[in-house]
Chain A
Amino acid sequence: MSLKHADNLRGKAAIAGIGATEFSKESGRSELRLAVEAVGAALDDAGIAPSEVDGLVSFTMDTNPEIAVAAAAGIGDLTFFSRIHYGGGAACATVAQAAMAVATGVADVVVCYRAFNERSGRRFGSGVLQRDPTVEGVGLGWNMPHGLLTPASWVAMFAQRYLHVYGATTEAFGHVAVADRKHAANNPKAYFHGKPITLEDHQNSRWIVEPMRLLDCCQETDGAQAIVVVSAERAKDLKQKPAIINAAAQGAGRLQDQMTSFYRDEMTGLAEMGVVAKQLWQTSGLTPDDIQTAVLYDHFTPFVLMQLEEFGFCGRGEAPAFVANGGLELGGKLPTNTHGGQLGEAYLHGMNGIAEGVRQIRGSSVNQVENVHNVLVTAGTGVPTSGLVLGVE
């Protein structure tokens, strides 16, 4: 992974198993229990015994230490474990680091997991009201006394600037929401199964943080998702059709903040996602035209527009036109978030999106795109982030 040259990760590792709990508003069990259930389900899916696992990766925000998960999931000695910072930006990075571990022989079977009771327990959207004077606390401290307290408020500051600079309207955000909800309506695992919305519904939904409305915001979910990574060689002999990791990258941009990169030259893009995009194209050898379907991180709709531009699916300021007329829907220019995204299916900090990318490669999505060869998956936006290009070979 480098900006200067293609890295050596292409085709070395694969996703061999995916597993999740149900997605709910109140799981009724501990976050650790959810993690262990998801890890077990992913290993079952892969056809790998827990005793073979020697690596675990998660998020720094996850409350379940690798050793606690291992202890309760039948996993023995670990040779690789890491946790990645920056909220949802860690999602694809868990797979990236797992891929590096198996590609280098540091570990043979690595399980990535994320588990939380984000609806019934600690809710991220309830507001940051107090922080200790750590570096990150001071960072948030620039916002708090003025009442800029929620993730929605931090994203809205970018969204307003984007609308202004490109002369767009909030309907552009609405098209993203409509596509997500259309896909979710067809997904029995989605919270909003059978509940599509129209652009009018979006425009009529109440303000959360202007210029963002309720239907621009992702859900809050209780649940867990796990992903099993092994070498591409090993994956060939396992139960499932492998999703080959043809590129995996992390990225942070110059003068990066967590959600509040307000002080850079521009606020109309996501520089950190640009760092990820450059690496993914470089290592995979692909271009936007080679991607049949994408999972673009959608905690809030405006950042989906900027991701389309950072990856070059359209030019700067052209995303509103790109997403109009069903551009992100099945049959559109780039079918995106075919599971329903985090607005429609569940908010699992991006990990459920990786699972959907795997299903598209396997051909098992409820909204299967035809002739999928390559899938782009991204992680949390507005924070240091990560991405994956998955392929059938």
Chain B
Amino acid sequence: MTDPISQDKAAFLAVVKKYEGMHDVSGVLALDPVNGPMIRHWAEAMGDTNPVYTDPEAAARTHFGEVVAPAAMLQVWIMRGMQGGAPANSATGELYKHFTDNGFGSVVATNCEQEYVRPLRLGELVQYDQLIETVSEEKTTGLGTGHFITTLTNIYVDGESGRELVGTHRFRILRYTPHKKKAKAAPPAERPLRPRKVVNKDNQAFWDGVAAGKLLFQKCLDCATPRFPFAPGCNKCASLEWDPVESTGKGVVYSHVTMHYPKFPAFDMPYAVGLIELEEGVRMLGNVLGVAHDRVRIGMPVELEFVTHDAELTVPAFRAVGEN
């Protein structure tokens, strides 16, 4: 089953994916040759006092033999100035317009990787080619939902035997639709975390199971009685021997409550907590999902869904089956 929204998404992805590998520009010359004043300003701003960048005499005593530009200045030489940017008729210009027109109007630079093949010397005029390396599938990040675009710029200097590669510059941006901000909602950072799980040697196996995406209960190896919550021995036969067994996660609501008061800021009040009788015959607690808190009913079929609330807390929850 494919819904209209995912069809639209697939069509959009097909369009933007065509730009992968497309050359944007070639042989574009830098605005300025590598020069002392720009190096000095950059080194001062960075607090880099290495004399090899600014002092010809000191530089002469190094293995470079002369002043060189700081390697990390690579991008400076290919910048297009304050009014620059991708021209509208370039491949990137076209690609960005697709994103803007499809709701991905926001942009943020996410990371940059550079390789330095050899240092640049005073007076060298670099030139560069740029291509669109990759366009990602749709991703959801903390900022919003969108696509990562990676461009690769190869930087050259004209040499005696043709163009000589001096460095590469890989730049990744995210074109995205920002998350909708909830009206009046407190900033997420202020919400306290849910109460922590409590783990000791007797129930470690259960939480290890959760971490592995499994809902475990215990089964007595002597009398086969299933049990939950975790305990070191069997109430029926006193055996200490047991195996963990994975539940299918299918069950029915055995009882339930709706929490109204007091207000717990870690939770969206009011909320439903269900006591679920699993088909294997043990009961477990969990939030009931997929149905309004006042429509949860005893006997309602549910199935397992793990919910991750934060980096340290994933818990089993139960989604009502056949509810909208």
Contacts and interface: CB of A to CB of B under 8 A. Distances in A.
Given A153-B273, A206-B261, A143 B285 contact: yes
B199 interface: yes
Contacts of B260: 206-210
B245 interface: no
A150 interface: yes
Interface string A146-172: 111110010011101100100000000
A360 to B, nearest CB: 35
B286 interface: yes
A127 B256 CA distance: 18
A263 B229 CA distance: 8
Interface stretch (A104-112, A132-140, A188-196, A233-241): A132-140
Nearest to B229: A142
A11 to B, nearest CB: 36
Contact of A125 (B194, B262, B264): B262
A209 B197 contact: no
A164 B203 contact: no
Given A133-B200, A263-B283, A267-B255, A145 B313 contact: yes
Contacts of B282: 263
B195 A130 contact: yes
Contacts of B184: none
A135 B233 CA distance: 14
A89 interface: no
Nearest to A213: B260
B30 interface: no
B285 A141 contact: no
Contacts of B116: none
A126 to B, nearest CB: 6
B267 A147 contact: yes
A147 B271 contact: yes
A211 B235 contact: no
Contacts of B256: 157, 160
A372 interface: no
B315 A146 contact: yes
A161 B298 contact: yes
Contacts of B200: 133-135, 137-138
A122 to B, nearest CB: 14
Interface string B254-287: 1111111110101100110101000000110111
Contacts, number: 121
Given A138-B203, A146-B286, A160-B298, A210 B195 contact: no
Contacts of B286: 146
Given A161-B255, A161-B298, A147 B198 contact: no
Interface string A207-226: 11111000000000000000
B238 to A, nearest CB: 13
Interface in B177-213: 194-200, 202-203
B259 A141 contact: no
A157 B196 CA distance: 21
A3 interface: no
A202 B98 CA distance: 61
A139 B200 CA distance: 11
A369 B158 CA distance: 111
* Chain A CB within 10 A, most for which of B197, B261, B271, B286: B261
B228 interface: yes
Given A144-B198, A145-B196, A254-B235, A209 B313 contact: no
B258 A149 contact: no
A321 interface: no
Interface string A291-315: 0000000000000000000000000
Contacts of B315: 145-146
Interface in A176-202: none
Given A145-B197, A145-B313, A254-B235, A157 B275 contact: yes
Contact of A262 (B195, B199, B283, B298): B283
Contacts of B228: 263
A262 B198 contact: no
A67 interface: no
A71 interface: no
B195 A160 contact: no
A286 interface: no
Contacts of A156: 257
* Chain B CB within 10 A, most for which of A129, A138, A209, A267: A138
A385 to B, nearest CB: 20
B298 A140 contact: no
Given A147-B271, A148-B273, A133 B199 contact: yes
A145 B275 contact: no
Given A141-B197, A209-B259, A146 B287 contact: yes
A29 interface: no
A207 B261 contact: yes
Contacts of B309: 145
B264 A210 contact: no
A129 B192 CA distance: 11
B275 A262 contact: yes
Given A137-B200, A146-B315, A147-B266, 11 more contacts: A127-B262, A146-B287, A147-B194, A147-B195, A147-B264, A149-B264, A153-B259, A157-B257, A207-B270, A262-B275, A263-B229
A-B pairs with the 6 shortest C-beta distances? A141-B198, A144-B195, A210-B258, A133-B200, A161-B255, A156-B257
Interface of B: 194-200, 202-203, 228-229, 235, 254-262, 264, 266-267, 270-271, 273, 275, 282-283, 285-287, 293-294, 298, 309, 313, 315, 317
7 contacts: A133-B198, A135-B202, A142-B229, A160-B256, A164-B298, A207-B258, A263-B282
